[in-house]
Amino acid sequence: MELFEQLANKIKGQDKTLVFPEGEDPRIQGAAVRLAADGLVKPILLGQKASIDATAKENHFDLSQVTVIDIDSYPKEDFKEMVRTLVERRHGKTDTATAKKWLKDPNYFGTMLVYMKLADGMVSGATHPTGDTVRPALQIIKTAADASRISGAFVMQRNDERYIFADAAINIDIDAQTMAEIAVQSAKTAKVFGIDPKVAMLSFSTKGSARAPQVDKVQEATKIAKQLAPSLPLDGELQFDAAFVPEVGEAKAPESSVAGHANVFVFPDLQSGNIGYKIAQRLGGFEAIGPILQGLAQPVSDLSRGANEEDVYKVAVITAAQAIAN
């Protein structure tokens, strides 16, 4: 079964609500209308109602199954409660005046809907840079209990092959603790996509074949990850061929249950992760789905500003699936 058909079956009937801060954009509206019509998601569009209605009319969209929230017309008492909750969440770092200003920004408003459990997730970034989507999430939703940072994973898919590459989008350099956390988070992401995770902690060394501080980091990260998730099939340090090719894994790491069979690949830094996924995409013919933000306590997804309606639809499906997994 095709990936998004599997995910659609998983989320259908779960009544997950997603908020879209860029509700005036026709790509967002088109995806929201389809998601509602397909019974996959209850969409909330944020924006000026007159502008949203004008876009819908121009594109012949029926928004009858979509909730529209105009922040300027949001009930005063509900807005006061949101301000109070935001100030409380920020533990004195944000005063009431600043909170009111922030909440006029649809990304902050949408993030608060998620934090207050008035929505199950948020999808933004069609017209905003990544920072505008991620910053409110980090300030308000924050990281999950088992993560100190967020990271970006890609699902690499080609025919019936499906793998996770991480971190390939967010953290330029990581220490052993962060690499271990990314490994555990990536295993959770794998399960969302129907992958039974077998995690390889990647290096240019396999089981001590080379000596360097970079190798020491991956060895330490492997130890920490095994402590964080003792039942998770995970091993390292492994070169990619030892992690992926059964004969090489048997030759280089015969005691490993992961070597030669890995499907979740954790890179030691962003440089190698980003290069790796693009090589697989461009030379290997894999479709790269992502980046999928992982490590947040509640799901928030960042769209590419070049995204089309179909991209928005698919990212929303992923975000709803993440909400179920949470």
The edge-to-edge listing of strands for the beta sheet with 234-238 is: 234-238, 199-202, 264-266, 161-166, 151-158, 287-294
Q: Which CATH number goes with the domain that contains 132?
A: 3.40.50.10950
Mean pLDDT, the chain, whole residue set: 94
* 40 within a domain of the structure (yes/no): yes
Is 273 found in the same domain as 155?
yes
The pLDDT tens digits for 291-303 are: 899 999 999 998 8
* Mean pLDDT of all residues in 55-80: 96
Is 316 found in the same domain as 274?
no
Is 279 found in the same domain as 180?
yes
CA-to-CA separations, 227 to 9, 231, 233, 234, 326, in angstroms, rounded = 34, 9, 12, 11, 21
CA-to-CA separations, 244 to 111, 163, 179, 248, 290, in angstroms, rounded = 39, 11, 19, 8, 22
What confidence category does residue 130 fall into, taking pLDDT thresholds of 50, 70 and 90? confident
Is 195 found in the same domain as 157?
yes
* 107 within a domain of the structure (yes/no): yes
What confidence category does residue 101 fall into, taking pLDDT thresholds of 50, 70 and 90? very high
pLDDT at residue 114 is higher than 70:
yes
Is 105 found in the same domain as 26?
yes
Structure token pair of residue 279: 């090589």
Is 186 found in the same domain as 127?
no
Is 120 found in the same domain as 171?
no
pLDDT at residue 220 is higher than 90:
yes
* 290 within a domain of the structure (yes/no): no
Q: Whose structure tokens read 């290997």?
A: 284
* 289 within a domain of the structure (yes/no): no
What confidence category does residue 3 fall into, taking pLDDT thresholds of 50, 70 and 90? confident
Is 94 found in the same domain as 8?
yes
pLDDT at residue 1 is higher than 80:
no
Is 313 found in the same domain as 277?
no
What confidence category does residue 200 fall into, taking pLDDT thresholds of 50, 70 and 90? very high
Q: Residues 235, 258: contact at Cβ < 8 Å?
A: yes
Q: Rounded to the nearest 5°, which phi and psi values hold at 230?
A: -60, -30
Residues 6+ apart with CB under 8 A from 220: 176
Tally of domains in the chain: 2
Is 130 found in the same domain as 68?
yes
Q: Which CATH number goes with the domain that contains 235?
A: 3.40.50.10750
Is 186 found in the same domain as 134?
no
* 21 within a domain of the structure (yes/no): yes
Which helix (DSSP H) or strand (DSSP E) does residue 85 occupy? Answer: helix 76-89
CA-to-CA separations, 218 to 41, 56, 208, 266, in angstroms, rounded = 40, 51, 11, 10
* 294 within a domain of the structure (yes/no): no
* Mean pLDDT of all residues in 29-34: 97
What confidence category does residue 307 fall into, taking pLDDT thresholds of 50, 70 and 90? confident
The residue range of the domain holding 314 is: 3-142+304-325
* 295 within a domain of the structure (yes/no): no
Is 126 found in the same domain as 39?
yes
What confidence category does residue 150 fall into, taking pLDDT thresholds of 50, 70 and 90? very high
Q: Residues 177, 184: contact at Cβ < 8 Å?
A: no
CA dist., res. 8 & res. 14, Å (int): 10
Percent of the chain with pLDDT over 70: 100
CA dist., res. 239 & res. 202, Å (int): 6
The pLDDT tens digits for 227-284 are: 999 999 999 999 999 999 999 999 999 999 999 999 999 999 999 999 999 999 999 9
* 291 within a domain of the structure (yes/no): no
pLDDT at residue 79 is higher than 90:
yes
